[in-house]
Amino acid sequence: MTAESSKSTRRQFVATLAGASAALALPAMPARAQKGKELVFAGFGGAYQDGQTKAFFEPFEKQTGIRIVGTTGVELARLKAQVSSRNVEWDIVSLPESMCYAAKADGLLEKLDYSRFSVADLLPETVSEHYCGSITYATQLTYNSEVFSGQAAPVTWADMWNTDKFKGRRGMRSHPIQQMEFALLADGVPKNKLYPLDIDRAFKSLEKFRRSAVWWTQFPQVEQMLLSREIVMTPWTRGVSLQLAGRPIRVSYEGAAISYEGWVIPKGSKNYDAAMRFIDFATRPERQAELTKYVAFGPTNRKALPLINPSVAELLPSHPKNLNAGFLLNGDWWGQNLASVTERFNEWRLS
């Protein structure tokens, strides 16, 4: 993959899908497209997929006559089974970066034909032979602003680790991706020196919360934990949506993990041409700007930001100030190391 560095109202933000940094274990609905007339899209469900339907699928069908049939249950094991059996049911998927890497390494993806449209305006980090950036998302330090009313609010991961100055129970996601990076940042590692990750040092830093934190697994549960003050802060992806909806939730982009999802076409798709037409359509700036009316994920097309309400755009991951404050998650590193680090992480949590 390329490694080069780089209208809506607040009421319209009511919810967004759990970061797309992890697939939901939802049962897949059987679906098969009619060749040339339909595309089967496999997504993550929830408010995110509802937004994709409104911003992408419905207008694409109106313009081209090609209907998009939505299903859920995105898992690499399912994708691999389809490709291996030469019985590919999915035509288009938007995969988180680390999953893109793993899918590419396993030979599960078609190469994309960029002769059909220009990617010059897309963030270069989100474009590769096999995937093309669909959205940017971020995991930020997210906190209940009412807890810290009248006092300094937490800004950095070192602040989250400072339980003497910032009182209250922490939430932590029960998954190693991003938790390792945040632990290292809290321990003083500069964000431009994170990779390759020093896993031993990360676990030593995380030890502070192994027994005391609320280790959560489902993204939607975090909202209630923050609002009820069961926890006062946590790494999370949905804080911006809640802030825009008027909830007492705020985020800090300092040291935020910024990543992206990429449009991919499964190897052996019977609707490659139509899928490429869709990727062209969905990466246009006006389409990406439309998606931000429904979910607080950032565009990958730099020309989309001027089309978004400024009060919203400034809170999105791909806004330049937020890109500069955070760091780009290294999907290649995680693609190669996820299995081994996850095994160690799970053993550590249970020990």
Q: Which pLDDT value is given to residue 21? A: 35
Stated pTM of the model: 0.80
The predicted-structure confidence for 52-65, as pLDDT tens digits, reads as follows 999 999 999 999 99
Q: Which pLDDT value is given to residue 219? A: 80
The predicted-structure confidence for 163-177, as pLDDT tens digits, reads as follows 999 999 999 999 999
Q: Alpha-carbon distance 63 to 296, whole Å?
A: 25
The predicted-structure confidence for 24-37, as pLDDT tens digits, reads as follows 333 334 455 556 68
Average pLDDT over residues 287-305: 95
Q: Which pLDDT value is given to residue 218? A: 83
Instruction: Work out the mean pLDDT of the chain and round it to a whole number.
Output: 89
Q: Alpha-carbon distance 281 to 279, whole Å?
A: 5
Q: Alpha-carbon distance 28 to 318, whole Å?
A: 31
Average pLDDT over residues 121-130: 94
Answer yes or no: same fold for 10-136+260-328 and 138-258+335-350.
yes
Q: Within 10 A of 200 (CB to CB), how many other CB atoms are there? A: 9
Q: Report the share of the chain in percent with pLDDT over 90.
A: 79
The predicted-structure confidence for 67-102, as pLDDT tens digits, reads as follows 999 999 888 999 999 999 999 999 999 998 888 988
The predicted-structure confidence for 175-214, as pLDDT tens digits, reads as follows 999 999 999 999 999 999 999 999 999 999 999 999 999 9
Q: Which pLDDT value is given to residue 143? A: 98
The predicted-structure confidence for 138-152, as pLDDT tens digits, reads as follows 999 999 999 999 999
Q: Which pLDDT value is given to residue 46? A: 81
Q: Which pLDDT value is given to residue 340? A: 94
Domain spans of the chain, in order of start: 10-136+260-328, 138-258+335-350
Range in 7-21, 130-144, 156-170, 252-266 the model is least confident about: 7-21
Q: Which pLDDT value is given to residue 3? A: 38
Q: Which pLDDT value is given to residue 276? A: 98
Q: Which pLDDT value is given to residue 220? A: 80
Q: What is the 3-state secondary structure (H, E, C) of the chain?
A: CCCCCCCCCHHHCCCCCCCCCCCCCCCCCCCCCCCCCEEEEEECCHHHHHHHHHHHHHHHHHHHCCEEEEEECCCHHHHHHHHHCCCCCCCEEEEEHHHHHHHHHCCCECCCCHHHCCCCCECHHHECCCCEEEEEEEEEEEEECCCCCCCCCCCCHHHHHCCCCCCCCEEEECCCCCHHHHHHHHCCCCHHHCCCCCHHHHHHHHHHHCCCCEEECCCCHHHHHHHCCCCCEEEECCHHHHHHCCCCEEEEEEEEEEEEEEEECECCCCCHHHHHHHHHHHCCHHHHHHHCCCCCCECCECCCHHHCCHHHHCCCCCCHHHHHHCEECCHHHHHHHHHHHHHHHHHHHHC
Question: In 3D, which of 83, 293, 84 has the Cα closest to residue 93?
Answer: 83
CATH number given to 10-136+260-328: 3.40.190.10
In CATH terms, the fold of domain 138-258+335-350 is D-Maltodextrin-Binding Protein; domain 2 (3.40.190)
Average pLDDT over residues 306-314: 95
Q: Which pLDDT value is given to residue 301? A: 97
